[in-house]
């Protein structure tokens, strides 16, 4: 018995060794398990470190330390919030980004071990041999896709780990065994990530349909509908058990700015995709690279006539068809933009099929000489025909290694009917293991050799380890020590020393724990995104997932609670109304002399319909003049704002006043911009100091990307068909605060444009200080604040709406003098509270929307399931007693 138990443990020991082996490049090399640029660092590395600290400190709801403040549970359910592996990491101390990198490596080893183990158990339950089951497990995790996701987007692998368990639990459910097992696995998948739960659900539907035809010789609608209804019921139970995180996740997704873009999904990929399929899957190390043996096992599948293997082969063919069609990439992404993150399902289907072929070949002991020679000739012919193409893309040495592995594998196949089954299995496991280890080493070596600042691996001891720069930390520490209040800090755009590291500063506030103006994550609330990018057209990156500062727009910065400005040494910029406070290293800290708190009373209102009629400068002006609400929200009968006093002047309102240099007018609205072409806009003299805003409404005729540049401000508009571009045609660029400006030059990327509007506005700022002083007469003095709570006191002289710069969400609950008050959404994106005259204590408390409802739903489902279980169990005991 002890000997048998040891034998049963040996595969799992082997998986642990292989899990370490496929990561050996990072144990022996000079690199961390992460790449230098893009989302891997800008988002996921920062998120992991930030959330780890927040959750360890008991904060699960809200933080002011990213964006303008936001939920740190709901939006991050897409990443880590309910991941079992992330919560496991919370048990360990992480004091730096370097610690996070080491944790990422350790978790990758652990998850790859679990994924292989679960795949092995699934195959054993499907009556596969031990060796074939090991090969299937190695194929699943060893195809490079697992480690590729683990390297770039480690949360994707959570779903990959549990997918084998989902299919195993489903197989047992169909056989009438262990329903609870299916419920638990389904609940875990739904709980951990709603996006990948959707992908797993689609795959489960496909697998369930295939499973019906696999077990039924003939098709009958009654049997099929009964089968579908029964399985749907059990799926619903598992789904509801995981609903506690699914409901808030879906709410955040539906509230996010992800639905603006009209998408075109082609019927087929370009011909190069199909030309590269065989090469990319087997003869090049890419994000999907199968062991050489897999190629033969798939090819031989065409010739095996047994019903079970033929049906399993057809399921692989179906998944391969999905792999080859653009529509599948959209459907698995919720029928939105095409994404390839679902392709691990294709890998899983192949890993699930090949062990059946291996057992068939070994047990039948058929001679494979003819097949092997034929397939080798086919492969050699393919490689010979594609030789010129291969030479163009390079990587000859890698191709030679993979080709050698192919010959070694096919050599083992020739020995199949000449050796014992045991030796045959050992040969197969050996060549697959060698292929897996070789492919991973090549893959990581390729990335490690990429130039710095690209997508290469992070080298140990590199500046990325100290991305939390000491001088910048000292700046924030100085400000926080001096002022413990609730306010926001601005950084000048040129204060980004991360450019050399290909790292953006959008999530810098997460690193330094201050209240900023920037965010980079996938579920930015739509109301906040629209406020910045549509209502006020602040200059932002062309992305639905990012916003950064407000382009130095004075009135917006003030209304949103800016109190300190950090400017790099040597930059000729001093924010208007600020005074130098302190010089620290390469930075100067400025303090706003006219700041407003997070809350202040507005006694005038502007109707939302009238707001749309204002130009962008007038909208800026209204931020400190009136609160924007719908007429139906005016329960206190506030005064409509007086718009007779003009502070905004339109200096230029048409193209004829613009001088063209290297720009040719083609039609009434179309212009051909040549190299070094520019639009020179003459500016009439102004009597007062003001902010100059340049508004352009234009499109590039061919839909390509272009850059608009005004002074030292520039904006890159991505191509219309770019997956992450924002559908935007109007752009506003702040040319700065000037009292003397004779002209403004606008340069565009060479190309043909349709310019529908060009306007220049002058926003008088001389009244700015007086307006701020008026607002501060009825200000909310913050008595205390925590992550999800703000408590303040205000003396209301004239009734109106307490207008805050707290981003509005259904999760905010307000009490005034202890009584619950329904908050309003004002200025299209922020929390407002109606107040009458008198002294008020106002308390704001935040909880993730629909989390409580989700917990209640899951708890009720669990209670019903347990009640039914114990009822049936008790009933069976009574029957036995009789």
Per-residue pLDDT, 338: 85
Give the residue with greater pLDDT, 393 vs 182: 182
pLDDT digits (tens, 9 = 90+) for 829-857: 999 999 999 999 999 999 999 999 999 99
Is the predicted pLDDT of residue 403 greater than 80, yes or no? no
> How are strands ordered across the β-sheet holding 639-640?
627-629, 604-607, 639-640
Q: How far apart are CA 629 and CA 832, in angstroms?
A: 10
Looking at residue 497, what is its pLDDT? 46
**Predicted local distance difference test score (pLDDT) of residue 499:** 43
Sketch out the chain's domains with CATH numbers.
2-35+73-448 (no CATH), 649-766 (2.60.120.260), 772-846 (2.60.40)
Looking at the chain, the whole-number percentage of residues with pLDDT higher than 90 is 57
Burial of 875 (0-12, 13-18, 19+ CB in 10 A): exposed
DSSP symbol at 256: B
Query: E strand or H helix at 847, and its extent?
Result: none
Residue 352 C-alpha from the chain's centroid: 29
Give the integer Cα–Cα distance in Å for 228 and 269: 33
Burial of 15 (0-12, 13-18, 19+ CB in 10 A): buried
Mean pLDDT of 603-628: 93
**Tens-place pLDDT, residues 423-432:** 888 888 988 9
d(CA 291, CA 289): 7
Q: What is the pLDDT of residues 302-311, one digit of tens each?
A: 888 888 899 9
Average pLDDT of 269-276?
Answer: 83
Rounded to the nearest 10°, the torsion over CA 302, 279, 158, 429 is 60
pLDDT band at 498 (very low <50, low <70, confident <90, very high): very low
pLDDT > 70 fraction of the chain, expressed in percent and rounded = 92
The full 3-state SS of 164-186, as one line of letters, equals: HHHHHHHHHHHCCCCHHHHHHHH
HSE-up of residue 789 (Cα within 13 Å, Cβ side): 8
**pLDDT tens for each residue of 741-782:** 888 999 999 999 999 999 999 999 999 999 999 999 999 999
Average pLDDT of 221-229?
91
Please tell me the predicted confidence (pLDDT) of residue 273: 85
Q: What is the mean pLDDT of residues 548-571?
A: 93
- For residue 252, pLDDT over 80 is answered with yes
Mean of per-residue pLDDT scores for the chain: 88
- Answer yes or no: is pLDDT of 476 > 80: yes
Output the pTM of the full model.
0.90
110-146 confidence digits (pLDDT tens): 999 999 999 999 999 999 999 999 999 999 999 899 9
């Amino acid at each position: 018995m002890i000997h048998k138990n040891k034998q049963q443990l040996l595969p799992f020991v082997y998986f642990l060794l292989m899990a370490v082996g496929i990561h050996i490049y990072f144990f022996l090399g000079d690199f961390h398990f992460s790449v230098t640029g893009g989302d891997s660092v800008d988002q996921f590395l920062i998120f992991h470190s930030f959330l780890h600290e927040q959750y360890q400190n008991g904060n699960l709801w809200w933080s002011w330390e990213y964006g303008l403040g936001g939920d740190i549970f709901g939006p991050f359910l897409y990443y880590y919030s309910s991941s079992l592996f992330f919560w496991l990491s919370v048990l360990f101390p992480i004091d730096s980004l370097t610690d996070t990198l080491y944790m990422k490596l350790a978790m990758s080893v652990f998850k790859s071990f679990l994924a292989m183990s679960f795949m092995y158990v699934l195959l054993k339950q499907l009556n596969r041999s031990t060796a074939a089951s090991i090969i299937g497990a190695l194929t699943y995790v060893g195809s490079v896709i697992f480690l590729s996701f683990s390297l770039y987007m480690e949360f994707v692998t959570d779903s990959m780990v549990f997918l084998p368990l989902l299919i195993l639990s489903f197989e047992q459910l169909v056989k009438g065994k262990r329903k609870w097992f299916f419920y638990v696995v389904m609940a875990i998948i739904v709980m951990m990530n709603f996006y990948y739960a959707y992908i797993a659900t689609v795959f489960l539907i496909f697998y369930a349909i295939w499973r019906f035809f696999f077990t039924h010789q003939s098709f009958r609608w009654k049997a099929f509908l009964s089968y579908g209804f029964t399985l749907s019921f059990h799926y619903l139970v598992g789904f509801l058990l995981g609903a506690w995180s699914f409901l808030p996740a879906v709410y955040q997704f539906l509230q996010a700015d992800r639905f603006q873009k009209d998408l075109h999904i082609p019927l087929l990929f370009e011909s190069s995709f199909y030309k590269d399929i065989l090469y990319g899957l087997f003869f090049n190390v890419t994000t999907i690279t199968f062991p050489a043996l897999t190629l033969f096992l798939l090819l031989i599948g065409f010739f095996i006539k047994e019903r079970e293997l033929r049906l399993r082969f057809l399921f692989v063919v179906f998944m391969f068809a999905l792999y080859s069609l653009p529509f599948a990439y959209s459907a698995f992404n919720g029928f939105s933009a095409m994404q390839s993150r679902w392709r691990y399902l294709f890998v899983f289907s192949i890993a699930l099929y090949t062990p059946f072929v291996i057992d068939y070949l070994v047990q039948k002991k058929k001679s494979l000489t003819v097949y092997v020679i034929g397939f080798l000739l086919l492969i050699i012919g393919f490689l010979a025909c594609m030789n010129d193409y291969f030479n163009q893309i390079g990587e000859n040495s890698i191709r030679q290694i993979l080709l050698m592995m192919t010959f070694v594998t096919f050599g083992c196949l020739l020995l199949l009917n000449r050796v014992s089954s045991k030796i045959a299995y050992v040969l197969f496991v050996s060549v697959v293991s060698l292929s897996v280890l070789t492919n991973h080493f090549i893959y990581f070596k390729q990335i490690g050799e990429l130039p710095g600042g690209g997508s290469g691996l992070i080298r140990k001891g590199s500046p990325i380890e100290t991305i939390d720069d000491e001088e910048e930390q000292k700046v924030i520490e100085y400000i926080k020590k001096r002022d413990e209040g609730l306010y926001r800090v601005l950084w000048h755009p040129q204060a980004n020393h991360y450019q050399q590291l290909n790292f953006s500063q959008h999530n810098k506030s997460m690193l330094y724990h201050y209240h900023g103006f920037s965010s980079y994550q996938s579920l930015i609330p739509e109301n906040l995104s629209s406020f910045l990018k549509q209502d006020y057209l602040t200059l932002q990156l062309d992305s639905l997932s990012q916003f950064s500062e407000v382009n130095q727009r004075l009135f917006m910065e003030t209304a949103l609670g800016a109190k300190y400005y950090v400017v790099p040494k040597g930059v000729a910029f001093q924010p208007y109304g600020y005074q130098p406070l302190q010089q620290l290293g390469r930075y100067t800290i400025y303090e706003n002399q006219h700041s407003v708190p997070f809350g202040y009373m507005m006694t005038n209102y502007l109707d939302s319909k009238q707001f749309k009629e204002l130009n962008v400068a007038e909208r800026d002006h209204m931020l400190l003049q009136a609160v924007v609400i719908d007429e139906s929200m005016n329960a206190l009968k506030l005064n409509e704002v007086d718009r007779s006093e003009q502070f905004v002047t339109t200096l230029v309102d048409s193209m004829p006043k613009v001088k063209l240099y290297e720009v040719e007018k083609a039609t009434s609205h179309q212009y051909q911009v040549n190299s070094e072409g520019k639009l020179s806009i003459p500016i009439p003299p102004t009597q007062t100091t003001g902010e100059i805003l340049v508004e352009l409404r234009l499109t590039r005729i061919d839909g390509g990307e272009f850059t608009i540049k005004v002074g030292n401000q520039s904006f890159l508009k991505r191509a219309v068909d770019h997956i992450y571009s924002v559908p935007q045609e109007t752009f506003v660029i702040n040319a700065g605060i000037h009292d003397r400006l004779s002209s403004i030059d606008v340069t565009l990327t060479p190309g043909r444009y349709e310019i529908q509007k060009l306007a220049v506005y002058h926003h008088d700022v001389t009244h700015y200080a007086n307006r701020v002083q008026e607002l501060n007469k009825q200000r909310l003095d913050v008595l205390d604040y925590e992550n999800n709570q703000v408590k303040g006191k205000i003396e209301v002289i004239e009734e109106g709406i307490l207008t805050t710069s707290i981003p509005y969400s259904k999760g905010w609950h307000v009490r005034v003098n202890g009584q619950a008050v329904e908050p309003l959404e004002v200025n299209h994106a922020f929390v407002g509270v109606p107040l009458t005259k008198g002294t008020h204590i106002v308390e704001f408390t935040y909880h993730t929307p629909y989390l409580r409802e989700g917990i209640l739903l899951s708890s009720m489902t669990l209670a019903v399931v347990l009640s039914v279980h114990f009822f049936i169990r008790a009933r069976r005991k009574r029957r036995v007693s009789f």
